[in-house]
Amino acid sequence: MLKAIQIQISQGLIHRPDLSFFGHFTAFTSRGSEAPANNDKRVPVEASDSSKPPTNGYLGRDTIANAAARIGPAVVNLSIPQSAYGITTGKSIGSGTIIDPDGTILTCAHVVLGFQSIHQSSKGRVDVTLQDGRTFEGVVVNADLQSDIALVKIKSKTPLPTAKIGFSSKLRPGDWVIAVGCPLSLQNTVTAGIVSCVDRKSSDLGLGGTRREYLQTDCAVNAGNSGGPLVNLDGEVVGVNIMKVLSADGLGFSVPIDSVSKIVEHFKKSGRVIRPWLGLKMVELNKMIIAQLKERDPMFPDVEKGILVPAVIPGSPADRAGFKPGDVVVRFDGKPVETIKEIIEIIDDRVEKQMQVVVERSNKEKVTLQVTPVEADPDM
């Protein structure tokens, strides 16, 4: 019997300390007692040798079918035996995408690890089934619990189909996309829909932990879709399907492939994802918000753009650097900033390296601070 697995809280796979969403979101892994075993570097190999041309943005009669044909051969079914005290209790079923000819498979961490530590689960096998019927035993090589992204590796003596990686930054609300995977162990299932939102924040969903952004779509996704690709009409991977809202239809979420590519680069460089931490709460400003804040408080800093700091965590690097609630960050490490994403990109993975930050304060006071990020606690 298959059932949806709800995302775990606190010490579970994805750190979600806010309990407000519990019972409303589900990861797409399916589990059953007798389920069948089934830097922005871009992979230049298509998943299919189809001669059909790309869409160029036009939706025709065969557009979705052609996109599915391109990605299909590279989408795999993942089956992981589950056990307790040495007794097999069932299997976790999910999806994945072969992204490199060397056998690297992109998937979700909760698919291949359950809701346990990678150190406990990586010793087990991952049964991988391709669309052409070939089966392999894979190994979990990397997993990031906060982003819920993992890599599995298989070895093959014959060539493997691979997916082409696209750019999620090119997506717009209303763009057509398809979700491919193995919902309820039904391999090679394709559903279509549109992008509903390109930057749905984790805080919008009541999710705690590190700030994250998701692609929101109305593609039909179910248990077993986790780890499968979200694909544009050119057959390129633009996201990794990760979760849906239990109490509503047409509310699915994917990790943008641009973010995934950075995570994979972290894996290659450090074997893990390094997340610098400042200890700042930040809010992006625009002209309308600034005008409203000035109406409420005439002493609000005289700025046209920037990032407001409503709170500073005591004892944090930002606190030690002299940040104060009400500061507006206008420059970071010598560069003007308008969004939180820009600050994250500037910091990248640089920890224990001092950076200069310019903030505006009331009474037209401009202050330059020196802050040194530290690596975030994985359990934050």
Residues with catalytic annotation?
110, 148, 226
**Helix (H, G, I), strand (E, B), or coil: what is residue 365?**
strand
Query: Regarding beta strands 236-245 and 164-165, do their DSSP bridges make them parallel or antiparallel, or are they unpaired?
Result: parallel
- Using CA atoms, how far apart are residues 309 and 89, in angstroms rounded to an integer? 49
Radius of gyration of the chain (CA): 22
Report the candidate in 134, 186, 194, 164 with the shortest Cα–Cα distance to residue 67. 164
Place of tokens 């060539």: 159
Contacts 24+ apart (CB under 8 A), 296-304: 299/362, 299/363, 300/362, 301/326, 301/327, 301/328, 301/360, 301/361, 301/362, 301/364, 302/360, 302/364, 303/328, 303/330, 303/360
- Using CA atoms, how far apart are residues 335 and 348, in angstroms rounded to an integer? 14
Q: What does each C-alpha distance from 29 to 10, 52, 260 come to in angstroms?
A: 19, 33, 19
- The DSSP code for 235 is S
- Using CA atoms, how far apart are residues 165 and 261, in angstroms rounded to an integer? 9
